[in-house]
Amino acid sequence: MRHAHPVAEIRAAEAALMAQLPEGALMQRAARGLATAVLDLLGGAYGRRVVLLVGPGDNGGDALWAGAMLARRGVGVEAWLLAERPHAEGLAALRAAGGRLTRGHRDLPTAQRPDVVLDGIVGIGGRPGLRDDAVAALAALDGVPIVAVDVPSGIDVDTGELTGSHVRAAVTVTFGTHRIAHLVDPAAEACGVVHLVDIGLAPVLPPAGVEALQAADVAALLPLPGGFAHKYTRGVVGVRAGSAQYPGAGLLCVGGAACGLAGMVRYVGDSAVADRVREAHPEIVGAGRVQAWVVGSGGGDTAADELAAARADGVPLVVDADALAHVSGALGVPAVLTPHAGELAAMTGADRTDIEARMLHHARAAAERYDAVVLLKGRHTLIAAPDGRVRVTTTGTPWLATAGAGDVLGGVIGALLAAGLDPFDAAGVGSWVHGAAATRAAAGGPIVAGDVARALPVVLRELLGESAA
C-alpha cells in the first residue's frame, strides 16, 4: 500500500521523530536518499553536472546537503540561490565540498548545461505558484531533466491542484510518506516518477486518508472460494445494462462481471441484447435473486426504470452511465457511482473543467452528497467514501481511454460486490484490476474494451499465483 498524508500530519510526525534523533540527523537521511537517487539517474558521478535551485528552509537545505554529497563524489555542482537566507549549514557543506554558488541565475553556455536540475525551490510548506525569479531560473534550464525535492515546486501539496506556474519533474524524491499531490491529479502528473526514501517516519504517522493499492493488497482483498463453496455462496451479480440502441454495452458489462470473481451472472434487459449475451457467454442466466446489481451502461431511455427495479431489491448497486442521470440523492442501499468528469458535472451542476482541476475535492463532495462510494474516472481514478477516505488507482494505460471500457469496469465491481466486498474495497480492487488488465492487453499498443474483459482472468490468476507463492 502506498500511503499519502497531508502536510500538517507530516510536519507533526517529523517533529516527533526529530525529538528522538540528534540534531540534523533527519535532514542527513533525506539528503543521502536524494543524492543516491540523483546518482542513479545520472548513471555515474565523474564528468556529470548538476544545478541546484535553492529556496529557503529545509527543502533548500535538503538540496544543498545532497549537492555537497554529490560534489564529494566528483559531480560538478552549482547552486543557484533563489532565497535571501538559504539553509546555513547546507550552504557551508556545499562550499566545503567545492560546489559553486550563484546568486539568482545565469545564462549557461551549451557546454556548461547540466545533466540534471535539482528543484529545491519550495517544499511542502510552499504556496501554489512560483515567484518570477524561480520562473526565470527554470526558463534558463529549459529542456534539462528535473528532480524535485519532496514535491515539484509550485503545486498544491494537499489537494493535487495546479493553480499557477509550477515545476514539471521527471523524478520526484520524497521522504517518509507520500504527499497527496504525488497520487492525485493533475499535480501527480507533474511529479513524474515518485521515489520514496525511508527516513523512519512510518511509526509516528497516523493512518492515511489517501492511499493507493498495490498488487499484494489487491491479492489479499480478492474473494476466494472455500472448500465447500458453490455458485450461490460465491455471489450472484445481476446486470441491467444495454439496450436496442447500445447493445454492446450489455455485452461488455457482462464480460466484466463474468471474470470469474462471482459464482453466477444474471442478465436482465432487452430481449435482443439478452440473446446476444447468451450467445457470447453461454453461462449467463436470466432473472432471479442476486447479491448485487450493475445498472446503467448503455441503458438509454430505460435506465431510470432499471435503476428503480434494482433499488427495490435492496442489494448493493453499481450505478454507471445513463443511470447516473437519475441519481438525485442517497439511494438507500450500499452503492458505487462511477462517473467521469462530464457525468459528475451533469449530476452536480459543477463545471467539468473545475472537476478535472479539483478532482479530490469533487470526488469527496459527491461521496458525501450521495452517501455512496464515488469512483471518479481519470488518469489516476479516485475512489472516495462518504467518510472522506480516498483510494487512488494508478494502474492503467492511456489506451484505456476507449469506448466501452467503463462498461467492463462496472461489471467487475459488481462481481466483487456480489462476492462480498464492501463498496469501497470493491471499487478500489475492481479499478486496480481493470487498469492492470488494460495494461496487459495493450502491451504498448491500442486496445478495445473487449480486450480488457478478456485479459481480466489472466491478471486475476497472476495475482492469486503471486499471493500463493
pLDDT tens, the chain, 469 aa long: 999 999 999 999 999 999 999 999 999 999 999 999 999 999 999 999 999 999 999 999 999 999 999 999 999 999 999 998 999 999 999 999 999 999 999 999 888 899 999 999 999 988 899 999 999 999 999 999 999 999 999 999 999 999 999 999 999 999 999 999 999 999 999 999 999 999 999 999 999 999 999 999 999 999 999 999 999 999 999 999 999 999 999 999 999 999 999 999 999 999 999 999 999 999 999 999 999 999 999 998 999 999 999 999 999 999 999 999 999 999 999 999 999 999 999 999 999 999 999 999 999 999 999 999 999 999 999 999 999 999 999 999 999 999 999 999 999 999 999 999 999 999 999 999 999 999 999 998 999 999 999 999 999 999 998 655 4
209 is in an annotated binding site: no
Nearest-CA neighbor of 452 among 251, 299, 217, 223?
Answer: 251
Answer for the pair 438, 452: CB distance below 8 angstroms, yes or no.
yes
C-alpha span between 340 and 241 (Å, rounded): 18
Q: What is the pLDDT of residue 59?
A: 95
249 is in an annotated binding site: yes
Domains defined for the chain, CATH in brackets: 2-212 (3.40.50.10260), 215-468 (3.40.1190.20)
Answer for the pair 307, 241: CB distance below 8 angstroms, yes or no.
no
- List pLDDT tens digits, range 209-267: 999 999 999 999 999 999 999 999 999 999 999 999 999 999 999 999 999 999 999 99
Nearest-CA neighbor of 15 among 58, 55, 54?
Answer: 58
Q: Please identify which residue in the block is written with the cell numbers 535532514.
A: 27
C-alpha span between 280 and 282 (Å, rounded): 6
Question: Which residues are bridge partners to 120 per DSSP?
Answer: 54
C-alpha span between 140 and 112 (Å, rounded): 12
Q: Please identify which residue in the block is written with the cell numbers 523524478.
A: 171
Answer for the pair 438, 459: CB distance below 8 angstroms, yes or no.
no
128 is in an annotated binding site: yes
240 is in an annotated binding site: no
> Inter-axis angle of helices 423-442 and 449-468, to 10 degrees?
110
CA angle, 156 as apex, 153 and 159 as ends, to 5°?
150
* Residue 285: burial class (beta carbons within 10 Å; 0-12, 13-18, 19+): middle
Backbone angles phi, psi at 183, to 5 degrees: -110, -30
397 is in an annotated binding site: no
124 is in an annotated binding site: yes
Q: What is the pLDDT of residue 467?
A: 57
132 is in an annotated binding site: no
Q: What residues contact 411, with CB distance under 8 A and at least 6 apart?
A: 237, 239, 252, 253, 254, 255, 256, 257, 258, 259, 294, 453
407 is in an annotated binding site: yes
Q: How far does Cα 243 stand from its chain's mean position?
A: 33
Q: Which run of H or of E encompasses 157?
A: none
119 is in an annotated binding site: yes
- Tell me the whole-structure pTM to 2 decimals: 0.96
* Residue 134: burial class (beta carbons within 10 Å; 0-12, 13-18, 19+): buried
